[in-house]
Structure 1
Amino acid sequence: MVLAATGDRLPEVVYWGAPLPAEADLATLHAAAAIDVTGGMLDENPDLSLSPEAVRTFPGQPGLILRDEGGTPLLPKFRYASEDAADGLSLTYADAENGLRLTFRFRPDPSTRIVEAKTVLEADRPVHLHWLAAPVLPAPQQSDEMIDVSGRWVGEFQLNRTAWSPGMRYRENRTGRTGHEHFPGLLVPLRGATNTQGECYGFHYGWSGGHKMIAEELPDGRRQIQWGHAARMETKPGTRFESATLYVTYSQYGLNGCAVAFQRHVRDRIVTWPKGAAHPRPVHYNCWEAVYFDHKLPVLKDIAERAADLGAERFVLDDGWFGQRDDDTRSLSDWEVDPRKYPDGLGPLIDHVHGLGMTFGLWFEPEMINPDSDIHRAHPDWALGGEDQTLGRQQKALNMALPEVRDFIYDRMAAILSRHAIDYVKWDHNRVLPMPDADQTRGSYALIDRLRTDFPQVEIESCASGGGRIDFGILKRTQRVWLSDSNDALERLRIQHDGALWLPLAVTGSHVGPRRCHTSGRVLDIAFRAWVAAQRHMGFEMDPRELDDREARVLRDVAAWWKANRDWMTSADIHRLDSADPAVLAEQQQARDGSRFVCFAGKAATSAQIAPRPLRLTALEADATYRIELVNRADAPALSRGMPLLKDGPVELSGTWLMQHGLVLPWSFPETMWVVEGRRL
């Protein structure tokens, strides 16, 4: 990444991409990047700087919009002040007339190939901020389209491809949380790029509140990418504002190069692991889809015994254990154990779970409150928004900007966590906010940070009706995300495939759901459900009493396989494969040293052709030999009547063959999964 400036003006990124020669003359590069001028243009092209300035006749969206305390718009003009290269690069620019300082911070990570970037604005008097962009970067001219992410409940991580054209692609999330609808990620592939080849640029804005993205093609053809908090989220005047961290990367290996960089950075740099990164990720059991709000101690003990027998190592008690919580209309924020359901408290259940060799986790929804709750009746002023607001799931949000609210939640949660051996909290957030407010997000961060400080061994999962709060900001404070409330393995196959563009296995929860999925009504075979869950941090979330002998056996076998492989898979890179058959969604999880991999090939629909198309692998050593084995070849159906070599046992093949010709897999029904292990000899 090359930054350059003319005189004392704000710098611009004149190049970012493949490594340049170390001896490259940067002044020449700056001059060589300048575009021509012609009729209908200014005599000099305004800089596409790290914060484009309206006062310098920049023709596109500016990087900073603010007013003084009386409401008068300010048009700052910044000049060079200082720089600091102690930790990456920090560049500070000042506007003496308006009493403003603007600082850009960059921190590169050579190991993960991520650059972290942030903008900080300081004023010598209170000002109103409308918009502050993280450092603004140019987008490549060789790109025909951009890929951003939308979604919905039980349908997260939907990729949108939008063609570049003159004007602006403007996406703004004003729901107050990261949102199912607007995951803060962007990929800009160059022409011809695929999962496994070509060039691509990647972005992620690490903030759990509302955010805004601008991808703009200027009249002169240049392109800019801006990220920041949603406009007007700073509701009060202030003297210091900062963007969230913008994470950017560049790939010469297709979309996968960006994906692997983000995966490694999340796992190795962002998440803090209570027991260390090397500690095995435990197989979950969550009781939500088994009992919902109907908590009966003998039933839960029986379910815990069955879950342990299937291979679970952590038992999570979900919603319904507190207050008068018999449905989702009451008692949120009354965080005291329900004596009707647990007359002796949670201790007997926790002791039983521990006696089975499992640890114990507990569900909370700390930032929410039901109008029908003791706390709302005592403190209606603690709720965020007006009295006549539209409820969501019969609840309001608590005003997390209030210290007394944070203290109350902390005290209630700390009392439970101090009293019991609880190593895991499922932290839910089941409604959007009545209005976007940056103080709400900062308050939630402060509460989580305080709990993490005082209970450092407790792991936290971020859940928000599934995938409504997944971003690198929340992952600085948590260790797991609930990718979707959909336990439909067919839907999960696609959601996990696309979520892997930013998220590693280690943080991505995936559970084996009920025989008949509660969100889609679809009935899927246990083997498919189990293998889809085994693609990520594996768990179960069904009533184990419904399992027949075969289903229980399959679940034990797949859980045992996952445990045997989790140590290396947890730190593996997930490569999305370019499947020749659109019906097949396939990925290759590969150890960082390339010594082994596992390929999951999920068949999501009926293929157009009769015989399976070969599946090309990626990122292997061309001259190396690999021992390839079809793990679940016994699952081949009767209609698979031929004898592809993999059905007969292990086979040794070169990296070139595997990447250029590809695996020849047996025929299979839709809604099934082939699992192939590979080891470099």
Structure 2
Amino acid sequence: MLPIEFKDKKFHLYNKNLSYIIKISEHGDVLGAYFGARTDLCGVDVIRPVCNSFSPYPYEDDSSYTPGIMPSEYPVSNGCDYRTPALDITLPDGSKTLFLKYKEHKILNGKPKINGLPSVYTENDAEAQTLVITEEDNGKNITVNLYYAVFEDFNAICRHAQIINNGENPVFLNSAQSVCADFPEGDYEYIHLCGAHTREKHIERNAVHQGSQGFESRRGASGHTENPFLAFFEKGANEKNGNVYGFSLVYSGNHKFEIELENCAAPRVTAGINPFSFRYKLDKEESFSTPEAVLVFSQNGLGEMSQTYHKLYRTRLCRGKFKNLPRPILINNWEATYFNFDREKLIKIADTASKIGIELFVLDDGWFGKRDNSFSSLGDWFANEEKLGGNLKSLADAINKKGMKFGLWFEPEMISEDSNLYRAHPDWAIGIPNRPKHYARHQLVLDYTRSDVRDYIVKTVSNVLDSANIEYVKWDMNRNITDAFSQKLAPDRQGEFYHRYILGLYEVLEKITSSHPNILFESCSGGGGRCDPGMLYYMPQCWASDNTDAVERLYIQYGSSLVYPMSSVGTHISASPNHQLLRTTSLSMRACTAMNGAFGYELDLSALGGDEIEEMKKQVEFYKRIRNVITTGTFYRLVNPFEKRQASWQYVSEDKEKSIVYYSVANALSCQPIKNLKLRGLDENAEYKLGDTVYTGRTLMNYGIFINDIETESFNRIIEIEKVTPI
């Protein structure tokens, strides 16, 4: 059993690679003493910084002890600490000051679930232990439970907090963060994944400077603009070297990540639900649980951090039969037809797809209600049999007879004003009564804080899923929340709206996905607008971006790889010129990009020529041969397109028998130097075959392989490497 050590008022959470040490101070404060590479408890202590005359202290007989410069594990507002608090609470008398002190602790085998929220799990109790530290302010009747889970085989600490009101009168949470981590003085940098719709997860690297810096989402979703992930590291760290700390929030709503460097030059990182428009009422004996923050430590750069997240999220966050299975190769009709299709057109595309060897046909938007454009029918989840030339079962059966599975697109969180549902229940749409509405894509959002709305969605979507042999669902969300207000919430609970919406969404997803375990679910929000760990808990893959341009996808998928396993990233070959950027790229370039994840096609196959069809047959055959490596292999980033003109990455099978290397040019120059691409992760003593040549693993990693072709725009190579079996 993995130990959590408690000695001399210090907790030591550790495995073979990391240590996380917490100390209970002489005054009962819970302080962070150390987080980093494996150490021993003996000799580790909280270093008390030198305070000055403007550092207030709560103990007259100990003026050198000031919480404002101490490394607190869960600091509160309005006391001696002027830095960003983890907990900001308004008490019944209107005051905000808490004196939380250590009360007790317990150590649990395994890892408990968080009620109503997704989280990393264990498959047996021997995989992890969980420390629960209870803090209490007796005078104000507030209890805080701090949860820390440490794993035997992952360099990760999972944290969340539970706040309980033990008093007779209500209190209000203004901010309840999932994690606070104070780091020692030093030079630090950080990376976040930023962008926009069709430009998601671009890497931005900054130096930590004095003051506050960070990022957030206020959209009701995790968002296209900022993913809920932060890499915090010592200055100069790179893919292979340096101490790196990852912070990833298992949450799909408004979030905020903040780094604060105050006058004592010790940075503080906080992450959790965005305090923007957040005010959560706790009545007597009510509790509130924060989302889980997953902290990963790497002593060997960003690459090792990513590999920890990849395996942890693939095997202990994603659930169900598909989490470790290679994904079926699909054809989605959206960019082929948009809303303009009938049964004959769909069958033509399916005929060609079947000949190519594609395994799954996905019918996208336009199959339900009277949906021939984006103005109507969201909420009316029944098939348009006139348009489909029959019911869904007959279409699914026709696709199945061609040797393919059948999948369907939904957007169950939305409602159109031109719909039967809106005409029957206009109050189900989010909005403020008697005030103007705000639209996006001509649609409104359903109020998932309401149980009647949630029950309707579970019932109607399940009825569709049970009506035919549907084996894949794409769950979309094509706008963010505005006019955040529920007609079912009391005025003093409207500040709970955004969080209650996400809790309602999770309830719906839990019911639908658990009752349909044989359906592969993919999340989508205009692409990557809600591609986050919270959604991965219910759906093991996400459509990375509505931008299917092969060059732009190099950046999007490279950024995604910092935290998300590539088996969870949806990637498709689309038409050329591309529909979004009008860029022309070769079919081989599009394949080289799209084969890095859950591979598929999104174009009109029935309009292609014979040469393109034959090339696609070879692509499908090749991907089927390598997709096990893509799904479960170890991922290495070799060339960063944000720094170079090229992108390259590598997969190595768990047994190191096989490796796949991808190399693409994002921006060609007229005169290029010869490139020597050094590989990673191989068995240095083994021999590997590359084409007709045999190399040692040591040579491929230390000397590398030449990429000496004359590069042009959209030049690419996929290199397959296999270990030579001794005779």
Q: Per the shorter chain, which TM-score range?
A: over 0.9
Q: 1:612 aligns with which of 674, 686, 697?
A: 674
Structure 1 contact 209–438 (Cα < 8 Å) conserved: yes
Determine the C-alpha separation between the residues in 2 that align with 1:418 and 1:620: 46
What one-letter code is carried by the residue in structure 2 that aligns with 1:59?
A: Y
Instruction: Decide which moves more: 199-208 or 453-462.
Output: 453-462
Q: 1:262-287 CA deviation, whole Å, 9 max, x = no partner?
A: 111110000113x3545432111111
1:326 equivalenced with 2:326 (yes/no) = no
Correspondence for 2:217:
173
What one-letter code is carried by the residue in structure 1 that aligns with 2:36?
A: G
Q: 1:148 aligns with which of 186, 192, 201?
A: 192
Determine the C-alpha separation between the residues in 1 that align with 2:650 and 2:146: 37
Secondary structure, counterpart of 1:422 in structure 2: coil
Correspondence for 2:326:
280
Normalised TM-score (structure 2):
0.87
What one-letter code is carried by the residue in structure 2 that aligns with 1:675?
A: I
Note closer, same or farther for the CA distance 1:493–1:140 as it changes in structure 2 (3 Å cut): farther
1:81 equivalenced with 2:95 (yes/no) = no
Q: 2:44 aligns with which of 29, 37, 50?
A: 29
What one-letter code is carried by the residue in structure 2 that aligns with 1:504?
A: P
1:48 equivalenced with 2:76 (yes/no) = no
**Shift of residue 176, structure 1, vs aligned partner:** 0.1
Correspondence for 1:671:
714
Structure 1 contact 488–519 (Cα < 8 Å) conserved: yes
**Shift of residue 402, structure 1, vs aligned partner:** 0.5
Q: 1:487-528 CA deviation, whole Å, 9 max, x = no partner?
A: 101111111111001111221110011122111111111111
For 1:356-395, what aligned pairs fall within 5 Å after superposition? 356-386=402-432, 387-395=435-443
**Shift of residue 114, structure 1, vs aligned partner:** 2.0
Determine the C-alpha separation between the residues in 1 that align with 2:403 and 2:87: 55
1:458 equivalenced with 2:519 (yes/no) = yes
For 1:96-135, what aligned pairs fall within 5 Å after superposition? 96-124=138-166, 125-135=169-179
1:440 equivalenced with 2:501 (yes/no) = yes
Determine the C-alpha separation between the residues in 2 that align with 1:278 and 1:161: 32
Normalised TM-score (structure 1):
0.92
Secondary structure, counterpart of 2:559 in structure 1: helix
Correspondence for 2:444:
396
**Shift of residue 232, structure 1, vs aligned partner:** 4.8
Q: 1:192-250 CA deviation, whole Å, 9 max, x = no partner?
A: 21122222111101110101111111210111110111115545512311211001111
Secondary structure, counterpart of 2:102 in structure 1: strand
Note closer, same or farther for the CA distance 1:564–1:414 as it changes in structure 2 (3 Å cut): same
**Shift of residue 49, structure 1, vs aligned partner:** 1.0
Q: How many residues end up aligned between the 2 structures? A: 654
What one-letter code is carried by the residue in structure 1 that aligns with 2:315?
A: D
1:344 equivalenced with 2:344 (yes/no) = no
Determine the C-alpha separation between the residues in 1 that align with 2:190 and 2:551: 26
Determine the C-alpha separation between the residues in 1 that align with 2:445 and 2:594: 32
Note closer, same or farther for the CA distance 1:441–1:233 as it changes in structure 2 (3 Å cut): farther
Secondary structure, counterpart of 1:257 in structure 2: helix
Structure 1 contact 250–258 (Cα < 8 Å) conserved: yes
Correspondence for 1:231:
275
Correspondence for 2:696:
654
**Shift of residue 653, structure 1, vs aligned partner:** 2.6
**Shift of residue 322, structure 1, vs aligned partner:** 0.6
Determine the C-alpha separation between the residues in 2 that align with 1:289 and 1:55: 54
Correspondence for 1:635:
none
What one-letter code is carried by the residue in structure 1 that aligns with 2:367?
A: W
Correspondence for 1:421:
469
Correspondence for 2:38:
19
Q: 1:507-565 CA deviation, whole Å, 9 max, x = no partner?
A: 11100111221111111111111121111111011000232222212211121111111
Structure 1 contact 531–558 (Cα < 8 Å) conserved: no
Structure 2 contact 160–289 (Cα < 8 Å) conserved: yes
Q: 1:553-597 CA deviation, whole Å, 9 max, x = no partner?
A: 221112111111112321012111146981111111112333322
Determine the C-alpha separation between the residues in 1 that align with 2:184 and 2:702: 29
Note closer, same or farther for the CA distance 1:655–1:445 as it changes in structure 2 (3 Å cut): same
What one-letter code is carried by the residue in structure 2 that aligns with 1:368?
A: M
Structure 1 contact 513–542 (Cα < 8 Å) conserved: yes
Determine the C-alpha separation between the residues in 2 that align with 1:450 and 1:439: 17
Determine the C-alpha separation between the residues in 2 that align with 1:263 and 1:8: 40
Determine the C-alpha separation between the residues in 1 that align with 2:452 and 2:79: 46
Q: 1:623-669 CA deviation, whole Å, 9 max, x = no partner?
A: 4234142xxxxxxxxxxxxxxxxxxx332333333333322113232
Q: 1:266 aligns with which of 313, 317, 342?
A: 313
Determine the C-alpha separation between the residues in 2 that align with 1:63 and 1:249: 20
Correspondence for 1:409:
457
Q: 1:472-499 CA deviation, whole Å, 9 max, x = no partner?
A: 1111111210000011011111111110
What one-letter code is carried by the residue in structure 1 that aligns with 2:48?
A: A
Determine the C-alpha separation between the residues in 1 that align with 2:644 and 2:280: 51
Structure 1 contact 59–218 (Cα < 8 Å) conserved: no
Correspondence for 1:191:
235
Q: 1:299-330 CA deviation, whole Å, 9 max, x = no partner?
A: 11111111122221111110000111010011
Structure 1 contact 278–567 (Cα < 8 Å) conserved: no
Q: 1:66-96 CA deviation, whole Å, 9 max, x = no partner?
A: 11357x1321111112211113211111111
**Shift of residue 170, structure 1, vs aligned partner:** 3.6
What one-letter code is carried by the residue in structure 2 that aligns with 1:221?
A: A
Determine the C-alpha separation between the residues in 1 that align with 2:640 and 2:465: 47
**Shift of residue 40, structure 1, vs aligned partner:** 5.7
**Shift of residue 343, structure 1, vs aligned partner:** 4.5
Uncovered stretches (5+) of structure 2, i.e. residues with no partner:
1-19, 57-63, 110-129, 485-496
For 1:208-247, what aligned pairs fall within 5 Å after superposition? 208-238=252-282, 239-247=286-294
Identity level (%): 27
Uncovered stretches (5+) of structure 1, i.e. residues with no partner:
630-648
Correspondence for 1:633:
none
Structure 2 contact 179–272 (Cα < 8 Å) conserved: no
Determine the C-alpha separation between the residues in 2 that align with 1:676 and 1:198: 29
Determine the C-alpha separation between the residues in 2 that align with 1:389 and 1:8: 53
